[in-house]
Structure 1
Amino acid sequence: MKTVSNCVEDILITQPYLEEALSRNIINFSALAVELTDPISKMLKKEVKPGAIMMALRRYSPPPTLSNSVKMKRAIQNLGDITVRSNLTDFTVRNSDTLIDNHSKILERINLETKLFYTFTRGIHESNIIISSSLSDFIKEQLVNETMLAIQDGLSAITINLPQDNSKIAGLYYHFFKRLAWEGIVLYEVISTTNEFTILVEDEFVDKAFTAIKRVKT
């Protein structure tokens, strides 16, 4: 049987910003309890008093990864260089039997270049090629017989070098996404390897995004 505490937990899990603010004791418990009275009453299908909700809020223990644990602080302090690359184009192509062969021709050309930005991601139904815009026309020629789903230019990539043990730290990416969301920055694409994390944004957001990520590091 669901309780008031269960309902409070369900609501906070779906609203991580609210959960974090609660963990930092910067929320008025009484006001929040009143705000949650109606939704929790509907969830339980009976009238619930704000006092019961306030007690559940005070007893709630957020996941330890939301607090500034020593491990998380160390990881953020050990973030490596932040690199920005501009003049990028993103090609989204439907997967096909011929895409890999055409992509191999693209790789041959890329091997002749030394300062290109390039990533390739294959999903279940579509693939993405993100590359320096100087090769945009060449990519279009190689993919002329493929089904092009989208082409977006005027993009910039911001890459953060992560500490070696980043894959063992829960919530690390959350700190980046939280800061970017608070700044109203729209992410066009997210790419990651084991020790690198890259966001792709439209050029108008790149300065703001770079500053936001620097704030996470500092």
Structure 2
Amino acid sequence: MTTIPEVVEDIILRSPFLVEAISEDIINYSALARKIKPEIEEKLYKDVQMGAIVMALKRLKPKLMTQHLEKDILEYIRSMGEIIVRSDLIDYAYKNSTTLVPKQQKLLSLIQEQKDIFHASSKGVYETNIVTSKWMSSELEGIFSGEELLSKIEDLASVTMRTPTSYKKDVPGVFYYILRRLAWENINVVEIISTKHEFSLIVDKSSVNTTFNMLHNLKS
């Protein structure tokens, strides 16, 4: 039989913003209980007392992100390397085909001698994504002529950080913590590109300064 605490937890975990507000003690439990009461009653097929919902919310807090975990995340972020910003990027998405890989190889041979270029690609089940410097767009589009272009997003920038190579402890939630902070700033992340020891956030160029400042403040 489903209980009130189980339904409350399910509702709260659907929203990262509510999770943060509860874990940081910056939410009015009574107001939140009134807001989610109709959904709880609908799921349980019965009337539910406000006091029971408030109690469930208060008991949920220890299960959410603890202060100790947040401390570990911030320590990990502060140990990351320098923040590198690259501007004037374009994001392409092409439908996968039998001719796509040879064209990618041709593109890579063209850019391998270019030291200042930004280039990253990833292959999914149905499509291949390529993020590259704007000044390479004409060459890229020429090479991929005849392929099905699914999307093209211009006026982008990347913010890249190196993850610590000597950090001994696994710290869950690092990317979630960063993305949550960006969501609070109303920043849309177009792409996330990662390797073993670095990751890049691709954002609209109008958001790159806010993104850089947010990451710099976390490191500081």
| TM-score > 0.5 by shorter chain | yes
Corresponding residue for 2:206? 204
1:185 CA displacement: 1.0
Mark the CA change 1:72 to 1:203 in structure 2 (over 3 Å): closer, same or farther.
Answer: closer
Mark the CA change 1:13 to 1:184 in structure 2 (over 3 Å): closer, same or farther.
Answer: same
Give yes or no for contact 2:23–2:65 (8 Å, CA) kept in 1: no
Mark the CA change 1:109 to 1:167 in structure 2 (over 3 Å): closer, same or farther.
Answer: farther
Mark the CA change 1:210 to 1:14 in structure 2 (over 3 Å): closer, same or farther.
Answer: same
**Which residues of structure 1 form unaligned runs of 5+?**
none
Give yes or no for contact 2:81–2:162 (8 Å, CA) kept in 1: yes
Corresponding residue for 1:215? 217
1:215 CA displacement: 2.7
Greater relative contact order structure (CA < 8 Å, 6+ sep): 2
User: Which deviates more from structure 2 when the two are superposed, residues 147-156 or residues 81-90?
Assistant: 147-156
Corresponding residue for 2:7? 7
2 CA distance for matches of 1:31 and 1:151?
Answer: 43
1 CA distance for matches of 2:82 and 2:129?
Answer: 25
Deviations 1:9-47 (A, max 9, x none): 101111122122112222222222222221111111100
2 CA distance for matches of 1:119 and 1:78?
Answer: 25
1:214 CA displacement: 2.0
Aligned alpha-carbon RMSD (Å): 1.8
Corresponding residue for 1:134? 135
Q: Identical aligned pairs, as a percentage? A: 34
**Which residues of structure 2 form unaligned runs of 5+?**
none
1:163 CA displacement: 2.2
1:115 CA displacement: 1.3
Give yes or no for contact 2:78–2:218 (8 Å, CA) kept in 1: no
Mark the CA change 1:85 to 1:194 in structure 2 (over 3 Å): closer, same or farther.
Answer: same
Corresponding residue for 1:112? 113
2 CA distance for matches of 1:15 and 1:176?
Answer: 16
1 CA distance for matches of 2:184 and 2:79?
Answer: 23
Matches within 5 A, 1:161-180: 161-164=162-165, 165=167, 168-180=170-182
Give yes or no for contact 1:8–1:53 (8 Å, CA) kept in 2: yes
Matched position secondary structure for 1:113: coil
Mark the CA change 1:193 to 1:65 in structure 2 (over 3 Å): closer, same or farther.
Answer: farther
1:170 CA displacement: 1.2
User: Which deviates more from structure 2 when the two are superposed, residues 158-167 or residues 12-21?
Assistant: 158-167
Deviations 1:118-153 (A, max 9, x none): 101101101011111111111011100211112222
User: Which deviates more from structure 2 when the two are superposed, residues 47-56 or residues 161-170?
Assistant: 161-170
Give yes or no for contact 2:74–2:218 (8 Å, CA) kept in 1: no
* Counterpart amino acid of residue 184 in structure 2: W
